[in-house]
Amino acid sequence: MAEFTMELSDEQKEVRDWLHGFAADVIRPAAAEWDEREETPWPVIQEAAKVGIYSLDFYAQQYFDATGLGIPMAMEELFWGDAGIALSIVGTGLAAVGVLANGTEEQIGTWIPQMYGDANDVKVAAFCSSEPDAGSDVASMRTRAVYDEAKDEWVLNGTKTWATNGGIANVHVVVAVVDPELGSKGHASFIVPPNTPGLSQGQKFKKHGIRASHTAEVVLDGVRVPGSCLLGGKEKLDARLARAREKAKKGGERVKNAAMATFEASRPAVGAMAVGTARAAYEVALEYAQTREQFGRPIIDNQGVAFQLADMRTSIDAARLLVWRASWMAINGKPFTAAEGSMSKLFASETAKKVTAQAVQILGGNGYTREYPVERMHRDSAIYTIFEGTSEIQRLVIARTLAGMPIR
State the catalytic residues: 388
What residue type is assigned to position 4 of the chain? F
Long-range contacts from 144-148, C-beta under 8 angstroms, 24+ separation: 144/176, 144/177, 144/178, 144/180, 145/176, 145/177, 145/178, 145/188, 145/190, 146/178, 147/178, 147/227, 147/234, 148/224
CA-CA distances (angstroms) from residue 361 to 229, 289, 311? 51, 11, 14
What phi-psi label fits residue 388: left (phi over 0), alpha (psi between -120 and 50 degrees) or beta?
left
The amino acid sitting at 178 is: V
Distances (CA, A) of 8 to 3, 13, 77, 110, 292: 12, 6, 14, 35, 34
Q: Which helix (H) or strand (E) holds 147?
A: strand 144-148
Under 8 Å between Cβ of 101 and 263: no
Length of the chain: 408
Residue 282: how many CB atoms within 10 A of its CB? Answer: 24
What's phi and psi for 163, nearest 5 deg?
-85, 115
Between CA 220 and CA 126 the distance in angstroms is 14
Other CB atoms within 10 A of residue 9 CB: 12
* Cα-only R_g, the chain: 22
Per-residue b or e along 218-237, where b marks 16 or more CB atoms closer than 10 Å to that residue's CB:
bbbeebebeebbbbbbbeeb
DSSP strands (E only) in 171-316: 171-177, 187-192, 199-204, 215-226, 293-294, 297-298
